[in-house]
Amino acid sequence: MGRNLTQKIISDHLVSGEMTPGAEINLRIDQTLTQDATGTMAYLQWMAMGLDRVQTELSVSYVDHNTLQMGFQNPDDHQFLRTVAARYGVIYSPPGTGICHQLHLENFAKPGRTLIGSDSHTPTAGGVGSLAMGAGGLSVALAMAGEPYTIPMPKVFQIVLNGQLRDWAGAKDIILHILGLLSVKGGVGAVLEYTGPGVAGLTVPERATITNMGAELGATSSVFPSDEQTRDFLERMGRPEDFAPLAADSDATYDRVIEVDLDALEPLAARPHMPDLVVPIRELDGLTVDQVAVGSCTNSSYTDLKTTALVLRDKIVAPTTDLLIAPGSKQVLKLLNREGLLEVLLDSGARLLECSCGPCIGMGGSPTSGGVSLRTFNRNFEGRSGTQDGQVYLVGPATAAHAAMQGRITAPATWGPAPEKPLLPGSVPSIKQLFIMPPPRETASSVEICCGPNIVPLEDFTALPDQVHAQVLIVLGDNITTDHILPGGAAVTALRSNLPAISTYIFNRVDPDFVNRAQKAEIGIIVGGDNYGQGSSREHAALGPRHLGVRIVLAKSFARIHKANLINFGILPLIFTDPADHDKITLGQNIELTCASLFTSPKTALNLDDGSKISVRHDLTPKELEIIKVGGLLNLVKARKK
Ligand code: MIC
Ligand code: SF4
């Protein structure tokens, strides 16, 4: 029987396990990436493993999230990351070089390779046919140690693209359309594999926009075949030797088939405050726009910024609107400069930001109180922009540029004829010299690792007691994001290397009394709804609660990366047997659980202090149970080394 592309890459990298959806598989990982906000923790964990040199084909440490350097904490992090990279054989990308996913796509991603990254948008590399997945920092550290990466074998959804994009519709509208169809949890447990006649017409930057936002569907990964577009892109990037053709067999089968008619697509937006609240732009006609931001790992390629520039050529941004532009990499910036487009953007009144994540994670660029912000980004969760009541709409670059010019959203029918699709120029400037290559193994051992005072080694975590008496610390609804659990923004993100300090921010935007309650209770339990922990890969959303004594999260269902992070740090993810029981639990209630029973049966009962019982279950593998029992994966790794 024919195989789809996902199955081919998985079987090429399968170390053990059965390729049956849901069964545990272990994959050999070729490449890893980290970014600064998750990287310090990842490398602290790597160092705790006591190894000498990374074992992967390629590992890169990018600094792109927090580059503000307000105070010593953040530059100390960068210095730590630079010295760790040199010491252990990792390539270092200094602050200002660009956003990890854009840089990885341009410089390192290869068709058919596996990549895990301590960032949820790592699947961007699926645009060149890598099987790329977001993971917690500890999982990435283990992959750097040469350990296989464990995931449940994903289902594979075939997304058949028919026809071609027309008028002002762009790649962002394809993925927004799919988000509208499937919802923010519609991709959980699946890889989205793109096929069909519409694929050939999409360039790699367009494909990368689509695979990037597969993360918003909760998908394990998203992947495009490697074809003539891929060859063309890799040639322009100066690395033709990295091309390899790759496609599904013609008789491949899939777990689900979703057809998308590209001819019928029009510019779309995701309304506040979820990426799946998708509406046509024409329905937002007339909405006043206070801020427009173009950039992020979703839409910061040269072609995205060229689209923006073509709309703004000889035009001026509306006086009531602030236009921010963050190019995805220095290569993009150099190209814009070389092609005369930087001048177009600057002359229009756009503000040029550093090549970094910037406003996407609240590093400056927050909108006004209650202000409407149109962003070419991938997440519009409440408060993520840094303005709690900011109204963030996710759009493509063409919509963003028109709104910046008009100061309001206008119907695409009034925009006039769309320009020809922008393409990368034939020759592209290299920025390879900006990556700091690690010294050879023989000299690397003499590199001194600089560890500033805000960098606190990870504490030891205790094993799970057989019997847990816990207090309900918070009861939450569906789709709680990791931004709810631990906000981004400059002030909080500067503390990513200091667990005791950052833990004081857990749930602070949702319930400012949470930390206080958690500190008083000896052991805590968090109660969530469906898709608990969607969004980022930040381990701190598991580590913080663990530091505050949380040992159980009971939810209707979990997002993949966050669930793995909970397990990695010894927090038990339990599921309601009957989701309706969620409403029976109240804040402050005490519960009792015989954890020992979970090791013999996946079902058990929670005893509530009003005398009632609630049936709960887990879907953990024997290995995951063992990790939780000993108090976390690092404990297990250390125990095995002894
Ligand atoms: C995000 O987009 O939410 C982030 C910031 O890139 C996170 C990582 C982090 O919190 O450091 C992600 O997507 O994993
Ligand atoms: Fe950076 Fe935003 Fe992309 Fe996260 S989603 S990696 S914060 S640009």
> Of 264, 294, 319, which residue constitutes the final position of a domain?
264
* pLDDT value at 642 more than 80: no
In the reported structure, the alpha carbon of residue 535 is separated from the centroid of ligand 1 by a whole-number distance in angstroms of: 8
In the reported structure, the alpha carbon of residue 357 is separated from the centroid of ligand 2 by a whole-number distance in angstroms of: 5
Output b/e per residue, 148-175; b: 16+ Cβ within 10 A: bbbbbbbbbbbbbbeeebeebbbbbbbb
Cα–Cα distance between 251 and 4 in angstroms, integer? 8
Place of tokens 């609630």: 614
Nearest to 178 by CA among 209, 135, 132, 134: 209
The band of 84, judged by pLDDT with boundaries at 50, 70 and 90, is very high
In this structure, are 286 and 397 located in the same domain?
yes
Mean pLDDT over 337-361 rounds to: 98
Of the chain, the end-to-end C-alpha distance in Å amounts to 45
Q: Does residue 422 lie within any of the structural domains?
A: no
In this structure, are 260 and 130 located in the same domain?
yes
Cα–Cα distance between 371 and 220 in angstroms, integer? 33
Q: Does residue 9 lie within any of the structural domains?
A: yes
Q: In angstroms, how far is CA 190 from the centroid of its own chain?
A: 16
The band of 178, judged by pLDDT with boundaries at 50, 70 and 90, is very high
In the reported structure, the alpha carbon of residue 304 is separated from the centroid of ligand 2 by a whole-number distance in angstroms of: 16
Looking at residue 26, its pLDDT comes to: 98
Share of the chain above pLDDT 70, in %: 100
What strands lie across the sheet with 24-27, from one edge to the other?
14-17, 24-27, 149-152
Cα–Cα distance between 114 and 77 in angstroms, integer? 27
Q: Is 297 in the pocket of ligand 2 (CB under 6 A)?
A: yes
In this structure, are 505 and 562 located in the same domain?
yes
Nearest CA to ligand 1 atom 9: 538
Please name which ligand lies nearest the alpha carbon of 326: 2
The CA–CA distances, whole Å, from 327 to 7, 88, 98, 124, 546 equal 34, 30, 8, 16, 37
Looking at residue 337, its pLDDT comes to: 98
Q: Is 120 in the pocket of ligand 1 (CB under 6 A)?
A: yes
From the CA of 361, give the closest atom in ligand 1: 5
* pLDDT value at 133 more than 90: yes
In this structure, are 241 and 357 located in the same domain?
no
Q: Is 101 in the pocket of ligand 1 (CB under 6 A)?
A: no
Q: Does residue 416 lie within any of the structural domains?
A: no
Looking at residue 640, its pLDDT comes to: 81
> Of 376, 411, 446, which residue constitutes the final position of a domain?
411
In the reported structure, the alpha carbon of residue 358 is separated from the centroid of ligand 2 by a whole-number distance in angstroms of: 8
In this structure, are 100 and 222 located in the same domain?
yes
Instruction: Kindly state the helix (H) or strand (E) to which residue 39 belongs, with its residue range.
Output: helix 36-48
Q: Does residue 122 lie within any of the structural domains?
A: yes
Q: Is 614 in the pocket of ligand 1 (CB under 6 A)?
A: no
| Residue 356, C-beta contacts closer than 8 angstroms, at least 6 positions apart | 64, 65, 67, 95, 96, 98, 99, 326, 363
CATH number assigned to the domain comprising residue 294: 3.30.499.10
Average pLDDT, whole number, for the chain? 97
The band of 1, judged by pLDDT with boundaries at 50, 70 and 90, is confident
Please name which ligand lies nearest the alpha carbon of 65: 2
In this structure, are 499 and 552 located in the same domain?
yes
Q: Is 378 in the pocket of ligand 2 (CB under 6 A)?
A: yes
Q: Does residue 586 lie within any of the structural domains?
A: yes
In this structure, are 288 and 252 located in the same domain?
no
> What is the number of domains present in the chain?
3
In the reported structure, the alpha carbon of residue 604 is separated from the centroid of ligand 1 by a whole-number distance in angstroms of: 34
Domain with 360, as residue range(s), is: 281-411
Q: Is 306 in the pocket of ligand 1 (CB under 6 A)?
A: no
Q: Is 326 in the pocket of ligand 1 (CB under 6 A)?
A: no
Q: Does residue 540 lie within any of the structural domains?
A: yes
Taking only the tens place, the pLDDT of each residue in 283-314 is 999 999 999 999 999 999 999 999 999 999 99
Q: Does residue 439 lie within any of the structural domains?
A: no
Q: Is 361 in the pocket of ligand 1 (CB under 6 A)?
A: yes
In the reported structure, the alpha carbon of residue 7 is separated from the centroid of ligand 1 by a whole-number distance in angstroms of: 28
What dihedral do alpha carbons 615, 619, 622, 624 form, nearest 10°? -110
- Kindly report the pTM of this predicted structure: 0.98
Mean pLDDT over 393-400 rounds to: 98
Ramachandran quadrant class, 416 (left: phi over 0; alpha: psi -120 to 50; beta: rest): left
Tokens at 54, concatenated: 């990374």
**Most ligand 2 atoms within 8 A of CB, residue of 357, 392, 486 to mutate:** 357
| Residue 512, C-beta contacts closer than 8 angstroms, at least 6 positions apart | none
In this structure, are 349 and 223 located in the same domain?
no
Cα–Cα distance between 581 and 616 in angstroms, integer? 9
Nearest to 111 by CA among 1, 199, 31: 31
**Most ligand 1 atoms within 8 A of CB, residue of 124, 133, 213, 361 to mutate:** 361
The band of 466, judged by pLDDT with boundaries at 50, 70 and 90, is very high
In this structure, are 517 and 588 located in the same domain?
yes
Tokens at 311, concatenated: 């709309």
Share of the chain above pLDDT 90, in %: 98
Cα–Cα distance between 528 and 531 in angstroms, integer? 8
* pLDDT value at 76 more than 80: yes
Q: Is 119 in the pocket of ligand 2 (CB under 6 A)?
A: yes
Nearest to 480 by CA among 541, 436, 395: 541
Place of tokens 């669930």: 563
From the CA of 100, give the closest atom in ligand 2: 6
Looking at residue 2, its pLDDT comes to: 95
In the reported structure, the alpha carbon of residue 617 is separated from the centroid of ligand 2 by a whole-number distance in angstroms of: 34
Q: Is 391 in the pocket of ligand 2 (CB under 6 A)?
A: no
In the reported structure, the alpha carbon of residue 329 is separated from the centroid of ligand 2 by a whole-number distance in angstroms of: 13
Q: Is 121 in the pocket of ligand 2 (CB under 6 A)?
A: yes
In the reported structure, the alpha carbon of residue 197 is separated from the centroid of ligand 1 by a whole-number distance in angstroms of: 33
Taking only the tens place, the pLDDT of each residue in 34-47 is 999 999 999 999 99
Cα–Cα distance between 75 and 68 in angstroms, integer? 9
CATH number assigned to the domain comprising residue 627: 3.20.19.10
Cα–Cα distance between 487 and 37 in angstroms, integer? 12
Q: Is 293 in the pocket of ligand 2 (CB under 6 A)?
A: no
Looking at residue 639, its pLDDT comes to: 87
**Most ligand 2 atoms within 8 A of CB, residue of 100, 121, 301, 304 to mutate:** 121
| Residue 632, C-beta contacts closer than 8 angstroms, at least 6 positions apart | 461, 546, 568, 569, 570
Place of tokens 């079987």: 11
> Of 237, 264, 291, which residue constitutes the final position of a domain?
264
Q: Does residue 426 lie within any of the structural domains?
A: no
* pLDDT value at 638 more than 90: no
In the reported structure, the alpha carbon of residue 518 is separated from the centroid of ligand 2 by a whole-number distance in angstroms of: 30
* pLDDT value at 641 more than 80: no
In this structure, are 84 and 112 located in the same domain?
yes
Taking only the tens place, the pLDDT of each residue in 218-272 is 999 999 999 999 999 999 999 999 999 999 999 999 999 999 999 999 999 999 9
**Most ligand 1 atoms within 8 A of CB, residue of 99, 538, 540 to mutate:** 538
In the reported structure, the alpha carbon of residue 490 is separated from the centroid of ligand 2 by a whole-number distance in angstroms of: 14
Q: Is 8 in the pocket of ligand 1 (CB under 6 A)?
A: no
Please name which ligand lies nearest the alpha carbon of 36: 1
Handedness of CA 182, 184, 189, 191 (dihedral sign): positive
Q: Is 538 in the pocket of ligand 1 (CB under 6 A)?
A: yes
Nearest CA to ligand 1 atom 7: 536
In this structure, are 476 and 388 located in the same domain?
no
In the reported structure, the alpha carbon of residue 214 is separated from the centroid of ligand 1 by a whole-number distance in angstroms of: 14
From the CA of 64, give the closest atom in ligand 2: 1
In this structure, are 538 and 635 located in the same domain?
yes
Nearest CA to ligand 1 atom 2: 536
Nearest CA to ligand 2 atom 3: 297
Mean pLDDT over 344-349 rounds to: 98
Higher pLDDT: 151 or 426? It is 151
User: What would the DSSP string read from start to end of 316-327?
Assistant: ---TT-EEEE--
